[in-house]
Amino acid sequence: MPLQPLAEYELLAALAHGHLCAGQILGLRMALVGVKLLGLDDPSGKDRKRLISIVEIDRCMTDAIGVVTGCRLGKRALKFRDFGKAAATFCDLQENRAVRIAARESAKERARALYPEIAGPNQHQMRAYREMPDEELFHIEWVRVTLGAEDLPGYRAPGVICAQCGESVSFRREVVCEGRALCRGCAGERYYEPA
Ligand SMILES: [Zn+2]
Ligand SMILES: [Zn+2]
């Protein structure tokens, strides 16, 4: 789908996310800035094989980024680095360049100052985030992102069987401990305990 006006994306985002909120609008704007700077005018259509989005938070914003870019976790085009920051990096694999866009901390304050008369925690922000210029909303920086072949969509290789639990590990996510290939869980990163 070629790039749409913000209002169109708001409808799609509300459907995808379950409601429209300030975070969605911020995420839509962030993704629009990113793909435009990369020169992609059809990120979810003809340009879809070129784009990887790396998000740094799992909040409202994240769903909105998927709406504009078409990048999905299940397609390996959306990467989640859990930094807890309202930021995302958009990588163009074809041109080998990337731009990181972070919401400015001052944007919240600015939104409040712009529309003090609008009540509700979200409403003044929603309106302001629609209207504020990109440079007031975002800090924008060209960056270099190193992605391994195993991080890219379409990577094919047999999984490695974990020497401890016997489960298969894809995409070279195994770790070698004392000569044994282990999954990250067995290597000590397990996030669960048997109940
Ligand atoms: Zn939300
Ligand atoms: Zn294991």
In this structure, what CATH number is given to the domain that contains residue 173?
3.30.60
Does 22 share its domain with 113?
A: yes
Does 10 share its domain with 60?
A: yes
Does 133 share its domain with 172?
A: no
Per-residue confidence band for 22, with pLDDT thresholds at 50, 70 and 90: very high
CA 151 / ligand 2 centre spacing (Å): 20
Q: How many CB atoms lie within 10 A of CB 150?
A: 13
Q: Per-residue pLDDT averaged across 115-137, rounded?
A: 88
- What contacts 161, CB < 8 A, 6 or more positions away? 167, 168, 169, 181
Burial class (CB in 10 A: 0-12, 13-18, 19+), 74: exposed
CA 39 / ligand 1 centre spacing (Å): 28
Separation CA 102–CA 38 (nearest Å): 16
* Nearby residues for ligand 2 (ion, Cβ within 5 Å): 162, 164-165, 183, 186
Which CATH number covers residue 46? Answer: 3.30.1330.130
Structural domain contains residue 172? yes
Structural domain contains residue 164? yes
CA 44 / ligand 2 centre spacing (Å): 36
CA 192 / ligand 2 centre spacing (Å): 13
CA 141 / ligand 1 centre spacing (Å): 26
Please state the domain count of the chain. Answer: 2
pLDDT at 111 over 90: no
User: Which ligand does the CA of 61 lie closest to?
Assistant: 1
* Structural domain that includes position 184: 157-189
CA 163 / ligand 2 centre spacing (Å): 7
Task: Look up residue 185 and give its DSSP letter.
Answer: I
Cα atoms found within 13 Å of the Cα of residue 88, Cβ hemisphere only:
34
Structural domain contains residue 25? yes
Q: With H, G, I as helix, E, B as strand and everything else as coil, classify residue 10.
A: helix
Structural domain contains residue 1? no
What per-residue confidence (pLDDT) applies to 116? Answer: 81
- Per cent of the chain over pLDDT 90 is 89
Q: Per-residue pLDDT averaged across 8-20, rounded?
A: 96
Structural domain contains residue 195? no
What per-residue confidence (pLDDT) applies to 118? Answer: 77
Per-residue confidence band for 76, with pLDDT thresholds at 50, 70 and 90: very high
Structural domain contains residue 27? yes
pLDDT at 112 over 90: no
What per-residue confidence (pLDDT) applies to 108? Answer: 87
CA 14 / ligand 1 centre spacing (Å): 8
Does 33 share its domain with 113?
A: yes
Does 104 share its domain with 171?
A: no
Does 163 share its domain with 142?
A: no
User: Which ligand does the CA of 126 lie closest to?
Assistant: 1
What per-residue confidence (pLDDT) applies to 148? Answer: 95
User: Which ligand does the CA of 180 lie closest to?
Assistant: 2
Q: Per-residue pLDDT averaged across 152-163, rounded?
A: 95
Structural domain contains residue 194? no
